[in-house]
Amino acid sequence: MRIAVVGLGAVGTRAARQLTSTPAVETVVVCDPKADRVAEVVSSLGAKAVAHDAGAGLPEADVVVVATPSVHQPALAREIVSRGSSVVCTADSVSATRALLDLGPEAEARSITVAVGSGFAPGMSCVLARFAAEQLDTVDEIHVARLGTGGPACARQHHDALAGEAIDWRDGGWQHRPAGSGRELCWFPDPIGAADCYRAELPDAFLLVPSFPGVGRVTARLAATRRDRLTARLPMIRKPHPEGGLGALRVEVRGRGKHGIDVQVLGAMDRPGVAGGAVTALTAVEIASGRALRTGAWGLAGLLEPRRFLAELADRGVKAARFG
């Protein structure tokens, strides 16, 4: 199979590296506006990697990974879909996520797949939600919390999310509340432990609600310090870091099982850029191999078989755990 990666930031570069180490992938085409970055990545990846000139348009491939900053992803994905190729997008902003989901009817008509939100969160968080849901008979609530950032684009999105409008799902409708409100102490896998999390402008509910018909409530919260919240509505003064430290996920799914009311809590801990690259690469491989559960535009909870996906992800060094 031939897979292209457009955008060589923290997640895109990791995804390209994961793809070159996948036996089923024959060619990895890498593309970025910075020619020196492309040359650097190609030289480090070996014989499978092929450079593509960004000035020549988007590369041709069985599946195209779009790992650019979120704001650019809808236009790029639209062009890829119009050519009849499946696409995996790492977007983590609300506006980009909604625009990508709007590509669903065209993608379904062309019998291709648009994977929306294929990073650490959203992405792995959606797969964990699906895995937890399969342990229940019915799903009533899904609550996602996340901590940490990947590369510079992710850091900027974290900053902007705390200044925006949080949108959650409750009893069949959308609830709009100020970002930075609703403090909740969330426990993440060790060694992260407890952290204060707040409402934020996150896309998780837009990806999860379509995949869980009848769910009563879906929320997403973001770990933040007091300084994060106070400066969220100001311009970023410092240049974002090239890569963040350890990050973590917590996914809590409430519903009913064979013994009555049940709560499933799953988590993961890793560097978001590293984990996001692995999730993105594996999603592209699953789609290229014909193992996507449906065509159209969906989050990973609606696209992938979770048990298989998490097992393969663990083989790539990104592991999830059940905790409470």
The overall average pLDDT reported for the chain is 96
Tell which phi-psi region holds residue 168, choosing left (phi > 0), alpha (psi between -120 and 50) or beta: beta
Terminal Cα-to-Cα distance of the chain (whole angstroms): 40
- Closest residue by Cα to residue 147 from 41, 266, 246: 246
In the chain, pLDDT over 70 holds for what percent of residues? 100
Q: Which residue has the tokens 């350890």?
A: 246
Residue 4: pLDDT over 80: yes
What per-residue confidence (pLDDT) applies to 238?
A: 78
84-100 pLDDT, tens digit each: 999 999 999 999 999 99
In DSSP terms, 222 is beta-bridged to 146, 198
Q: What are the structural domain ranges in the chain?
A: 2-120+274-322, 124-271
Q: Determine the Cα–Cα distance for residues 175 and 161; give it in Å rounded to an integer.
A: 16
pLDDT-wise least confident of 181-195, 239-253, 257-271, 299-313:
239-253
What per-residue confidence (pLDDT) applies to 239?
A: 79
Confidence category of residue 197, pLDDT binned at 50, 70, 90: very high
Q: What's the count of helices (H) and strands (E) in the chain, helices before strands?
A: 11, 16
Q: Which residue has the tokens 């400066």?
A: 231
Q: Which residue has the tokens 């905790």?
A: 323
What residue type is assigned to position 280 of the chain?
T
What per-residue confidence (pLDDT) applies to 323?
A: 77
Pick the CATH number of 124-271 from 3.60.15.10, 3.30.360.10, 1.10.10.10, 3.40.50.720: 3.30.360.10
What per-residue confidence (pLDDT) applies to 221?
A: 98
What per-residue confidence (pLDDT) applies to 317?
A: 95
What residue type is assigned to position 225 of the chain?
T
What per-residue confidence (pLDDT) applies to 237?
A: 78
Specify burial of residue 311 (Cβ count, 10 A radius: 0-12, 13-18, 19+).
exposed
- Reported as type and span, the H/E element at residue 13 is helix 10-20
Residue 276: pLDDT over 70: yes
What per-residue confidence (pLDDT) applies to 240?
A: 82
CB count within 10 Å of CB 223 equals 22
The answer to whether residues 244 and 225 touch, using CB atoms and an 8 Å cutoff, is no
> How many angstroms separate the Cα of 57 from the Cα of each of 78, 83, 89?
13, 12, 17
Residue 103: pLDDT over 70: yes
Residue 268: pLDDT over 80: yes
Residue 324: pLDDT over 70: no
Residues in the chain: 324
User: What CATH number labels 2-120+274-322?
Assistant: 3.40.50.720
207-232 pLDDT, tens digit each: 999 999 999 999 999 999 999 999 99
What per-residue confidence (pLDDT) applies to 243?
A: 81
DSSP 123: B
Confidence category of residue 244, pLDDT binned at 50, 70, 90: confident
Rounded to the nearest angstrom, the gap between the alpha carbon of residue 49 and the centroid of all alpha carbons in its chain is 24
The answer to whether residues 275 and 120 touch, using CB atoms and an 8 Å cutoff, is yes
104-142 pLDDT, tens digit each: 999 999 999 999 999 999 999 999 999 999 999 999 999
* Sign of the CA dihedral running 202, 206, 211, 214: positive
